[in-house]
Each structure stands twice: as C-alpha cells, then as structure tokens.
Structure 1
C-alpha cells in the first residue's frame, strides 16, 4: 500500500511542473483509461500472448478532443478488428457535443433562442435556457473572429479566391444578395489553409482591393500565383495589391466561357478539343494545340475563338511552375468542392436572418476544414 502511495505521489508531483497541471492530469487519466479499455477489448496487453485474445493492436491515430479545461490531443489505440473509440469520447459526443452542435447549428441557421429552447426540451434536454444559448453563440463568435483575424505567414506560393452568394436580410429588413469572399492558400511547406472569410455587399474592384489589403495587413507579403475566375474586380485589385505576382485564369471557367459562344450541336466535340490544350505536358505543346484549334474553328465559331485568343495566355500560367502537379494549380476546382459542401449546408436556410449568421455558418465550417488539414499530409 505504501509503495502504491509513493508512486501516486510521484505522478501527481510531476503535474505541478506542467503549464496547465489540471489539463495535463486529465490527459494522463485519459491515456490510462484508453489503455485499460483497449486491452479489455483486445483481451490482452500489447505484445502479450494468451488464449483470451480477441484481436490485435495496430498502432495509434491522433484525435483532437475539446474539453472544458482546454484542448488535448489523444493518441487513440487502433484495433484491427472491431475498432475502438474511448467511452469518454462517445459519451461526450452523445451528450454535451450533441447539445452544443444542435444549439450552434440552429443558431447559425437563424433560429431564435426561444425556439431552440423548445426544441431542446422536445429532445429530452431540460437544462438549457435562452441565456445559455446566447452564451454558447457568443463563444462561437469569439472563435470565428479569432480565426478571421489571426496572423498569416509572409509567403503563400499559391492562393485561390472566390465569392459565395446567399440571400440575407439586412438591417432595413430587406432580403438582399450578399457576398462572402474566401481565400484558400498553400503554405511554403505545402499545407492547405483557409486564409480569409470576408463579407461584402457586392463584388467590385474596390471590395476585392479591400480584401487583398486585409490579407497584407495580416502579414501576407508574397504570392507566386493567384488562381480565380475572370472577374474583372479580382484581376484589377490583385495587380494593384501584389505587384510581380502571376494570375492564373481557372481553365474550367475559361472553357465554359468559350463554349458559351459555340453551337450546342458541336459542343461535345469542341469541348474535347479545347480540353486537350491544358492536358499537354509542356506549355509549347499547349500553345501549338491551341493554334491548331484556332485555325480549325476560326470561321466556324468566330466568337468562341476570339474568347480563346484573348484569355489563352492567362490560362497557361501554371506551366511556369513545372515542379507542381498542374492539376492542383490550373483551376479553382479545389475551392469549388469546398463551396459545394458549404452550399449543401446553407441551402436548408432559405433566407439568413443577418449577415452575421451567414458569416458564422461559413466560418465555422471552414475552421473545421483547416483543423482537419493540419493532420493531413502536404497538398503540394
């Protein structure tokens, strides 16, 4: 008994030197509980042989776990058959996480606090009030603002920008179309990151200039290549804000612009020919294919060919970065996929009650994306 007491005392003394003793103590306890629970599920300790063994350990997986004391990063044991999730994670997901998620989702979707309170009671959750909902929402807003205003790195080789539009009720109680401008970038290390989420009434040279200036104010000094659609405001503002950087016109949007001027009956064949331009290994080959298409279709589709000639050079800027997979930086597809997911969630709200609620929904979703990317391997 005395020996056990001494061991326990030594363990507790070790926590005193930690930056956050209570958080460190809780993490240690979680690690011990995971070890015990995983061994019970496997039927034996790691490396131990026995007739009671039901499965085997297969390394660990990292998992972020948010608690009232702070955030901890757990190394959860992986089990070959049956899998394993710690009981305290599933319990939190069923109770506190479910409650907070419901409150946040409902609130960002414009549901009033009183309605949320009634909904919570219908689900069997009694201990929640309108003031608690407001407090949770306040905490969410603080996280959003911290994320949107965080300092950025000095250099992002590649940045993608785009704007989302939703119907939002303004302060005059009118429903208006509101833009949320988004910047997504890749760091020097090749990791993905959502850089900016800014609301504006409309897209213009002035608003995009303000958007890029805000990126600079947060620390961005150098961009090698900006990828976007051909919005005039983006082009003009970017040239003014980041002198010496290149602009890549999204090849997918560019193809759509060209095909809009071609007859429908010949669109499939024409599109296949156009697509071959950007599939070439080298820029010289792409230019050669483009010239062949221009010669072939100049008289058939003069308007479409004019669009191709005027925008071709800007659509080939990715060839100046031969060390990078051209599929990654030749279009805004990577941003389009994120936007599609955002729209899938936002379409359930026909009209957002305020610009703040719209911004909150998008920002929280993009924050989750950025956090998930932190544990993934490099994008480029």
Structure 2
C-alpha cells in the first residue's frame, strides 16, 4: 500500500466504526485491501487472513500497553535498565476467535509477575466466540455441526468436549431462570406441552416438555418455566402450578388449556378462583379427528355457529342443530367431543369479544412450540432431560432476543415519539394484540382482583 496516503483523524475524538471505514475508503486504503481479497491475493479469515492479523495487531498492541503500565516505563526507555523488573521477550500463544485462530506473542516480564487482562492466562478463546457457539447451539445446530461449521468457515478447530463445555456453562443461568421470582398476578396463563425424544438407558423414549406462558398486566407474554416429564398428566401439571405459586404467583384470572382430563382441577387446586377455559382450537381439532376430508368444510362451518354464539343458550341451540344435521348424525363423535367439554368451554361465551380473541386458543404458546420444534428436529434425541431443558431455554432466549430487537426498533422510531407505550428497557416477549381493550374488559369483570395491581 502507498505509504504517502494518510487518514485524517482528530486525536482523542471517538468515531464510530462506520466513520472509520468511510475514512479508510476516502483514503483509498480500503479499496486496495478489498481488491486483493477479490483477486485471491489476500484471505479475509483463517490462517494468515486479514481479519485475524488485524485482531492480532490490536491485541498485541493492547498487551504491550498493559505491560508498560505494569512495569512503569515505556519500551526503549533507558530507565528500564535501572529498575528491578524489565521486559523479557515473548511467549507464543494461539487463541480461537470469531474470525479464526490468532497467533499471539504474549509479552513477559523478568519476574513473571505480569498477568494480562486482555488475554488472561489459560484462556484459549476470545472475542465473543463462546457467544457465537451458544447462539449456533440455540439455533438448532448440534455440537458436531458447530465443530464442522467453525472449522470450515473461520478455520478454528475446537473439540467436541470444548464446545460441550461452552454450552454447559449456561446451566447455572438456566437453573436461576427456572427458580426466578414471578409477578403476583398474570391475567392470562397458557399451558401446553410438546413431545421430545430423550435417551433412557439403551432406548430413546418420548417425553413431554411442559411449558407455561403468562401474560402480564402490560400484555407481554413471558415463558414462566419448562418442565420435562415422561407423560403430560394432570397430576404433573398440579405440581407445576404449585411451583409457580411458590415462586410468587398469587392469582390467575383465566387459564387457557387443552382438554386433558383433570387439568382444570389441577389448576383450581392452586388458584381456586381461576376460570379454566378449554382451548377452542383444541376442541375443534378433537371433534374433527374422525371427520372425512370431504366433509371437513361442512363440519367446520357448523361448529363455527357454536363458538361464535353470543350466549350459552344460543351455543347450546347451535350444538343441538349440528347434532341433528346430516353431518352431525354422520359423525356423532364430533358431537360427543363438544358435549364432554361443554362445562369447560362455556366460560368463553361469557366474555366480550376483546377477551374472546385472546383466550380463544393457546396459539400464543403453540406458535412458540412451532418455533421450538423447528429447532429440536435436528437433534434426533437428547442425552438427558437437563440437555433438553438447556436447549429449549436457549432457543426461547434466542426467540425473545429477536422479539426484543424488533420491539426496540418500534420504540426507537421517531415517528412514535409520543407513544404512551414507550419505555427504555427491552421487552423480552411479544405483546398480545388488542391487550388494552381486553384489559379494560377484564377490569370490569374482575375489578376486585385487578384494581389493586393497576
């Protein structure tokens, strides 16, 4: 590169990365580097690549500054000859980074008392590589996939055991998350389970990962916990509810669940005043299970009159009409499904449209389950329950981080400067659509339970 070229930078004035790149481009330096990369003369990453060498230069400059501060004199200063401690050459060290392996010359002092903080002793990874590995793992890649990915993209080879230890480092955080204190009131609680495969001895068996999602007073959905059990059952859900209560949940207004036998009683044992609502979508699926494909549209159209009815009486009339219809008599199991779930379905009909839209389905949790299934499908199976909870937690964090970034973009939009929902913190979950109207309706229905928290 031409030594005559220079980049005008005002000393001590901080600039952004974008400004620095623009200055390099204006000086013609960046174009020269990019041209050599384009022609293959210069590698970007991997051994001898431009980025690893840049990282090397920055780190070695920082290490040299650390040693200067430790010794109390600049390199080359004659006073160093009079001091008891002095520079004593370098120790080679290779560290893994996000841009590939970086071969460093770590400066030493004669007494061996220098302890660098930029590249601590014993460290073999720098620059957010651990975060990258955890992110890849949370996105659904197996440890073997990550091992291959790092070797093929940035030229860094890490062992299966090392990558496993990096992902295991989050277990303490998972344990804290599972036990963290919760809010006293969640107006809406969704509870559901998804099936995962876990190794049990020499066999791989299906297990249920139970997930609870609470909607807080701001309409934000939060995953309250993950529990892995051999089967989804009311007795186990009762234990989950008791645990949530022990973590601070004093009241739930509406619990939206599937039609599992005993589920409602398990929830009511913890929160006696809760309204347990059977998910209407689950109910529709159950009633359509034995309906021939050619008749599904007719059955679905008839069922719509039941769950959109304005009152319980109108819904009962619609069910009787469906039972006496041609398709109702052809598929009596569809009628039986609604009659068996009737007492747990009709609370839905007492709510105004604003609330019905929210408790109509457990889709709030099923959409999460859908994203989780995409992530765990590459796994085949988990070695144990703990590994399953770890991945599900990381995946949920990944999903919620994306939502938080989207939420922050919305909040930072200058066109929404006067938006009353604006605040400075990131929101971890997704906002429930139409929540303000629903909360207003719930306040009229449950004034004595909601007003103390508003």
TM-score (structure 2 length as normaliser):
0.57
Aligned 1:198-347 pairs, distance under 5 A: 198-262=227-291, 265-280=294-309, 285-296=314-325, 299-322=329-352, 324-347=354-377
Partner of 1:365: 395
Partner of 1:179: 208
Partner of 1:16: none
1:76-119 Cα offsets, whole Å, 9 max, x none, are xxxxxxxxxxxxxxxx9878567643456459969568x85565
1:322-365 Cα offsets, whole Å, 9 max, x none, are 27342221111222111111111111122222222222111111
1: distance between equivalents of 2:17 and 2:154? 30
Question: Relative to structure 1, is the Cα distance of residues 315 and 93 closer, same or farther in structure 2, using a 3 angstrom cutoff?
Answer: farther
Partner of 1:33: 16
Conservation of the 8 A alpha-carbon contact between 1:162 and 1:181: yes
Conservation of the 8 A alpha-carbon contact between 2:147 and 2:157: no
Conservation of the 8 A alpha-carbon contact between 2:142 and 2:379: no
Tell me the CA shift for residue 287 of structure 1. 4.1
Aligned length: 302
SS at match of 1:277: helix
Stretch moving more, 154-163 or 296-305? 296-305
Q: Which has the higher contact order (CA 8 A, sep 6+)?
A: 1
TM-score (structure 1 length as normaliser):
0.67
SS at match of 1:169: strand
2: distance between equivalents of 1:359 and 1:100? 19
Question: Relative to structure 1, is the Cα distance of residues 244 and 35 closer, same or farther in structure 2, using a 3 angstrom cutoff?
Answer: same
Aligned 1:13-52 pairs, distance under 5 A: 33=16
1:235-279 Cα offsets, whole Å, 9 max, x none, are 331122221211111111111222235455433212111023223
Conservation of the 8 A alpha-carbon contact between 1:110 and 1:357: no
> Which of 93, 96, 101 is 2:132 aligned to?
101
Conservation of the 8 A alpha-carbon contact between 1:109 and 1:352: no
Question: Relative to structure 1, is the Cα distance of residues 243 and 118 closer, same or farther in structure 2, using a 3 angstrom cutoff?
Answer: same
Question: Relative to structure 1, is the Cα distance of residues 277 and 125 closer, same or farther in structure 2, using a 3 angstrom cutoff?
Answer: same
Conservation of the 8 A alpha-carbon contact between 2:137 and 2:391: no
Tell me the CA shift for residue 212 of structure 1. 1.1
SS at match of 2:273: coil
Matched, 1:136 2:139: no
Conservation of the 8 A alpha-carbon contact between 2:189 and 2:256: yes
Work out which of the two has the higher radius of gyration on C-alpha atoms and give 1 or 2.
Answer: 2
